């Protein structure tokens, strides 16, 4: 039986824009790695655009594709995959996830959408064009839970809330490589939502408003972006919002798109190294 349902909803249009410049620092988490080069202590960014975000969305994953923002959400009973047309601002819920599953990150590879679930140790595969479920996969035993997922164009890259990023074969779902993420003085835990961009993996840190820029070849953290000011901006609009979660990349304009759980906006960011 197909437990997934297609429904349509709409979201009213509103926009906001502002400019923020932040000082960023890297906070160590765990055991010392003193031989590792230090991440850049200061970095800033500029908000260039904002779009409305569904304030009922407990965001877990984000993708930008051909003018649309594809988003997965979490919580039991309110997990879905939705699509926002960034030109018309028409918003569609394409998939409603069964109530027994807590949705997590998503990515697209070979015309398929891969979605993780939190504690169920199972992932779902959908046809990109129809959003129909076409498969499932079990997590390898080393992956404790499903958190974030992205792709380098060949492999799936998965986080499970530890300091590890796992490279999975998209057919067998076996682990091909494990990347340990670390900065100068610490292994970085709580790796969550992921986005691969030109040899780097961007990861947000769960329970924070920080994004790490990680060298995919080494696992070293090059830059830390602190988006607390954006969080506080939206917190003033909606006191119920939760932390940053959701990173997408618009290749045409070289901008990250970010949002958070119950945030009122998506933000387009130009990063300044």
For residue 273, give the 3-state DSSP assignment: coil
Mean pLDDT of 41-65: 87
Instruction: Name the token pair of 192.
Output: 């969550």
11 within some domain? no
214 within some domain? yes
Distance CA 261, CA 103 (A): 13
CATH number at residue 263: 2.130.10.10
- pLDDT tier, 273 (very low <50, low <70, confident <90, very high otherwise): low
Q: How many domains does the chain have?
A: 1
Burial class (CB in 10 A: 0-12, 13-18, 19+), 87: exposed
pLDDT at residue 252 tops 90: yes
* Residues 6 or more apart whose Cβ sits within 8 Å of residue 87: 67
Could you say which DSSP state residue 264 is in? S
Distance CA 164, CA 185 (A): 16
> Rg (Cα) of the chain, in Å, rounded?
18
- pLDDT tier, 10 (very low <50, low <70, confident <90, very high otherwise): very low
Pairing of strands 164-168, 175-180: antiparallel
Phi, psi of 29 (to 5 degrees): -110, -50
10 within some domain? no
Give CA separation, 233 vs 16, 21, 237, 241, in Å.
11, 13, 7, 11
pLDDT at residue 184 tops 90: no
The dihedral region occupied by 253, where left means phi > 0, alpha psi between -120 and 50, and beta the remainder, is alpha
Asked which of 29-38, 104-113, 129-138, 238-247 is least confident by mean pLDDT, the reply is 29-38
Among residues 118, 85, 256, the alpha carbon closest in space to that of 192 is found at 118
Give 115-136 pLDDT, tens digit per residue. 999 999 999 999 999 999 999 9
Higher pLDDT, 100 or 238: 100
pLDDT at position 31 is 34
pLDDT at position 23 is 32
Phi, psi of 131 (to 5 degrees): 65, 20
| H/E run at residue 164 | strand 164-168
pTM of the entire predicted model: 0.82
Range of the domain at 263: 44-272
Dihedral Cα 251, 92, 115, 67, nearest 10 deg: -10
pLDDT at position 237 is 84
Give 186-209 pLDDT, tens digit per residue. 778 899 999 999 999 999 999 889
pLDDT at position 255 is 95
Give CA separation, 224 vs 33, 43, 182, 188, in Å.
17, 7, 12, 11
**Token pair 């691969």 is at which residue?**
196
* Residues 6 or more apart whose Cβ sits within 8 Å of residue 132: 2, 4, 126
251 within some domain? yes
pLDDT at residue 41 tops 80: no
Could you say which DSSP state residue 37 is in? P
Mean pLDDT of 50-65: 95
82 within some domain? yes
The rounded mean pLDDT for the chain is 85
pLDDT at position 12 is 30
| H/E run at residue 62 | strand 59-65
Give 62-111 pLDDT, tens digit per residue. 999 999 999 999 999 999 999 999 999 999 999 999 999 999 999 999 99
pLDDT at position 45 is 84
Give CA separation, 40 vs 28, 37, 54, 151, 268, in Å.
13, 9, 34, 25, 22
pLDDT at residue 114 tops 70: yes
Among residues 114, 77, 83, the alpha carbon closest in space to that of 97 is found at 77
């Amino acid at each position: 039986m197909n437990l997934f349902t297609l429904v349509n909803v709409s979201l009213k249009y509103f926009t906001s824009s502002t400019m923020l410049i932040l000082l960023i620092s890297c906070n160590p988490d765990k055991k010392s790695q003193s031989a590792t080069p230090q991440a850049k202590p200061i970095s800033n960014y500029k908000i260039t655009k904002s779009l409305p975000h569904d304030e009922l969305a407990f965001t877990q994953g984000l993708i930008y594709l051909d003018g649309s923002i594809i988003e997965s959400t979490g919580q039991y009973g309110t997990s879905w995959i939705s699509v926002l047309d960034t030109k018309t601002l028409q918003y569609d819920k394409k998939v409603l996830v069964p109530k027994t599953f807590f949705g997590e990150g998503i990515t697209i590879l070979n015309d398929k959408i891969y979605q993780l679930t939190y504690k169920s140790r199972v992932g779902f595969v959908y046809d990109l064009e129809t959003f129909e479920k076409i498969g499932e996969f079990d997590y390898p035993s080393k992956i404790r839970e499903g958190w974030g997922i992205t792709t380098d164009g060949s492999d799936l890259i998965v986080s499970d809330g530890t300091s590890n990023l796992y490279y999975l074969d998209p057919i067998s779902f076996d682990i091909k490589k494990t990347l340990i993420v670390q900065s100068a003085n610490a292994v970085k835990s709580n790796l969550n939502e992921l986005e691969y961009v030109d040899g780097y993996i961007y990861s947000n840190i769960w329970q924070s408003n920080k994004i790490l820029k990680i060298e995919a070849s080494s696992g070293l953290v090059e830059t830390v972006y602190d988006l607390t000011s954006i969080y506080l901006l939206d917190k003033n609009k909606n006191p119920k919002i939760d932390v940053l979660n959701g990173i997408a990349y618009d290749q045409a304009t070289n901008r990250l798109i970010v949002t958070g759980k119950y945030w009122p906006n998506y933000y387009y960011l130009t990063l300044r190294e």
